[in-house]
């Protein structure tokens, strides 16, 4: 059974979605991610979807759910790397991904998360 | 396959050499296709020879030209290549069709010579020669037109591409000066161009300048908002600038809601806002 890998980068969790999501995989990812956020006390989640050529309403809802779950666990979520064709399709479908922050690439995404990451420095600093 | 009532295939076979010679000389002297040195005599000779050979072969089975049947496949291919080349060389459609029509005279001449005593057979032969050559001549015109139309379609495409430049104003700031009416097709191209440039340059702010857009109706506004929404999905902000007084009035009267996007009256105001969002300032150097 395949899983989506979750990488830890300081206080940030990096999720790179490379394959088409289906129900079970999405549930597994939500499960894994929430557990990792709690275990690592991560302050930010960065989801990279640059490998996806297709994002449908299911995928959109799943991203929204992940963002909402992370927020409850006090972690900010940014979705990065959406392809132009995907963005156009989503707009044509009338899906605007409410509640999800986006950035062009991983760099810009980390920049956006900087306040959330900085906030934790004093607490975590040893 | 209908059987031929005439002696057309026989005439073509027996007199191929004479017909070719007469045809060539009439083409060269008539000034039609060979005029102004657009085409070499040797090339014309080769083309004529090949066409005559293909035609001789094709009419063995009948003179009813059909754009689909296999009998005429070779000749169709030859004519489409010929029309395409002539169209790009700048020949007029009548000059291209004359290539085929000018074959009539030598063929009629040969038919009259060899069938002098049999008037019924002669008229049947002439009629069938007319049918096949007319059909082929008209076919070249059709092909010529198709070739020209494809050129026009390509130019139209290029025009769309050229009319939507995306320029970089500053590191991380793109501008898209729109000129002309926005229809669905153009919006699609504009949107794709802008989004691709956003990714390529890693820019987080795009200024869409609509100074050159003559009118903004609900459809144009919807297209603009779609572009803005797509850019926002990718993590970039848009600013719409260049809104003229009339257009501001129209937008309000039409009840279009532009509250989701920053709007500025001029490109310079939009640029200033973009700089501010990027945390940049412009300073005047004193003295120097």
Residue A46 has what pLDDT?
94
Least Cα distance to A112 among A104, A120, A121 occurs for A104
In tens, the pLDDT along B187-236 reads 888 888 899 999 999 999 999 999 888 888 888 888 888 899 999 999 99
CATH class of A6-120: alpha beta
User: Cα(A14)–Cα(A32) distance, rounded to whole angstroms?
Assistant: 12
Task: Give per-residue pLDDT as tens, B121-169.
Answer: 888 888 888 888 888 888 888 888 888 888 888 888 877 776 778 899 9
**Domain end point (choices B113, B144, B160):** B160
For A45, how many CA atoms within 13 A lie in the half-sphere containing its CB? 36
Confidence of residue A126 (pLDDT cuts 50, 70, 90): very low
Out of B188, B196, B233, the one facing A90 most closely (by C-beta) is B233
Q: Domain range holding B238?
A: 167-277
* Crossing angle between the packed helical segments B119-162 and B184-201, to the nearest 10 degrees: 50
The ipTM of this complex is 0.73
CATH number of the domain that B149 lies in? 1.10.490
pLDDT at B2: 45
The tens digit of pLDDT for each residue in B6-28 reads 677 888 888 888 888 888 888 87
Residues B141 and B82 in one domain: yes
Indicate yes or no: CB of B233 within 8 angstroms of CB of A97.
yes
Please count the structural domains in chain B. 2
Q: Tell me if A102 and B198 make a contact (CB, 8 A cut-off).
A: no
Is residue B33 scored above 80 in pLDDT?
A: no
CATH number of the domain at B255, please. 3.30.750.24
Query: Quick one: B119 and B248 in the same domain?
Result: no
In a domain, B284, yes or no: no
pLDDT of B4 reads: 58
Quote the pLDDT of residue A122: 53
B204 neighbourhood in chain A, CB within 8 Å: 103-104, 108
Cβ-nearest to A84 among B195, B203, B204 = B195
Q: Do B128 and B6 touch, CB atoms closer than 8 A?
A: yes
- Structure confidence at residue B73 (pLDDT): 83
Please state whether the predicted TM-score (pTM) of the whole model is above 0.80.
no
Tokens (6 digits) for A93: 């479908």
B279 touches chain A (CB under 8 A): no
pLDDT at B271 > cutoff 90: yes
Residue B239, phi then psi, degrees to nearest 5: -125, 130
pLDDT at A125: 43
Query: Cβ contacts of residue A84 below 8 Å, gap of 6+?
Result: B191, B192, B195, B196, B198, B199, B230, B234
């Amino acid at each position: 059974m395949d899983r989506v890998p979750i990488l830890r980068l300081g206080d940030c969790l990096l999720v790179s979605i490379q394959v088409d999501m289906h129900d079970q995989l999405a549930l597994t990812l939500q499960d894994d991610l929430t557990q990792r956020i709690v275990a690592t006390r991560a302050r930010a989640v960065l989801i990279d979807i640059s490998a996806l050529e297709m994002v449908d309403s299911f995928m959109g809802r799943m991203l929204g759910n992940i963002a909402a779950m992370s927020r409850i666990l006090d972690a900010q979520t940014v979705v990065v790397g959406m392809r132009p064709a995907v963005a156009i399709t989503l707009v044509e479908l009338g899906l605007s991904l409410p509640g999800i922050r986006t950035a062009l690439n991983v760099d810009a995404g980390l920049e956006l998360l900087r306040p959330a990451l900085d906030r934790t420095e004093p607490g975590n600093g040893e | 396959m209908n059987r031929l009532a005439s002696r057309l295939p026989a005439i073509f076979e027996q007199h191929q050499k004479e017909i070719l010679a007469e045809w060539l000389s009439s083409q060269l002297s008539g000034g039609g296709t060979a005029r102004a040195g657009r085409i070499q005599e040797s090339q014309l000779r080769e083309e004529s020879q090949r066409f005559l050979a293909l035609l001789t072969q094709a009419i063995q089975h009948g003179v009813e030209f059909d754009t689909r049947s296999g009998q005429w496949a070779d000749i169709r291919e030859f004519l489409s290549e010929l029309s395409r080349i002539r169209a790009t060389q700048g020949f007029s459609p009548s000059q291209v069709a004359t290539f085929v029509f000018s074959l009539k005279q030598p063929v009629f001449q040969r038919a009259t010579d060899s069938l002098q005593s049999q008037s019924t057979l002669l008229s049947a032969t002439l009629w069938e020669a007319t049918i096949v050559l007319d059909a082929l001549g008209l076919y070249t015109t059709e092909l010529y037109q198709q070739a020209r139309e494809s050129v026009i379609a390509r130019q139209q495409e290029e025009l769309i591409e050229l009319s939507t430049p995306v320029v970089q104003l500053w590191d991380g700031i793109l501008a898209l000066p729109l000129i002309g009416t926005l229809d669905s097709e153009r919006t699609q191209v504009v949107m794709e161009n802008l989004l691709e440039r956003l990714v390529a340059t890693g820019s987080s702010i795009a200024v869409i300048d609509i100074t050159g857009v003559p009118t903004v109706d609900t459809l144009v506004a919807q297209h603009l908002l779609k572009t803005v929404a797509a850019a926002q999905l990718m993590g970039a902000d848009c600013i719409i600038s260049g809104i003229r007084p009339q257009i501001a009035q129209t937008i309000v009267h039409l009840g279009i809601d532009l509250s989701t996007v920053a709007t500025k009256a001029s490109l310079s105001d939009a640029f200033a806002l973009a700089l501010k969002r990027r945390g940049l300032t412009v300073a005047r150097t004193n003295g120097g």
